Amino acid sequence: MHLAAHDTQQLMNEYHALIRHHGQTQARCDALVRAQASEIACLQGLVMRLRAAVIVRDTALTWERARAPLPVPYTAGDGADAEQPGLEASAAAADMVICQTGCVSHGDYWRVQDHCRRTGKTCVLVESAAAAHGMLESEKTGP
């Protein structure tokens, strides 16, 4: 099979066009890879900054909770006098006493009331834990 000079020249022209197109495609691919690498580096930096912000926020929240003047948790007993020191210690450490009325014995209820009267602390009576939680949140954020 012999090709004429004209056919050979046409094949050479098509080959050169194909090579140019291939070079342009490689250049576009290289540019896309560089752009993606740059975007990945930016996103990794953003992730690092966001992680640091979360750590700072969580640390500040932990410190704030540790020093916040919230009522010290106290689990009411059966109203026996043996529980009196635990109740007094918990109430003495608190700036405000929130008493969930459905969860304390009658004796504990009156002891809490008496303690608040004697010490001048605010005593709030609530029927459910959800109400107490809402009160604590409003105390943190203010009026």
DSSP secondary structure string for all residues of the chain: ----HHHHHHHHHHHHHHHHHHHHHHHHHHHHHHHHHHHHHHHHHHHHHHHHHHHHHHHHHHHHHHHS-PPPP----SS-GGGHHHHHHHHHH-SEEEEEGGGS-HHHHHHHHHHHHHHT-EEEEESSHHHHHHHHHHHHH--
Q: What is the pLDDT of residue 121?
A: 80
What are the pLDDT digits (tens) for 76-121? 554 444 445 666 676 667 777 777 766 667 677 777 777 788 888 8
What are the pLDDT digits (tens) for 24-81? 999 999 999 999 999 999 999 999 999 999 999 988 888 877 765 446 455 555 444 4
Prediction pTM value = 0.39
What are the pLDDT digits (tens) for 18-30? 999 999 999 999 9
Q: What whole-number distance in Å separates Cα of residue 72 and Cα of residue 95? A: 9
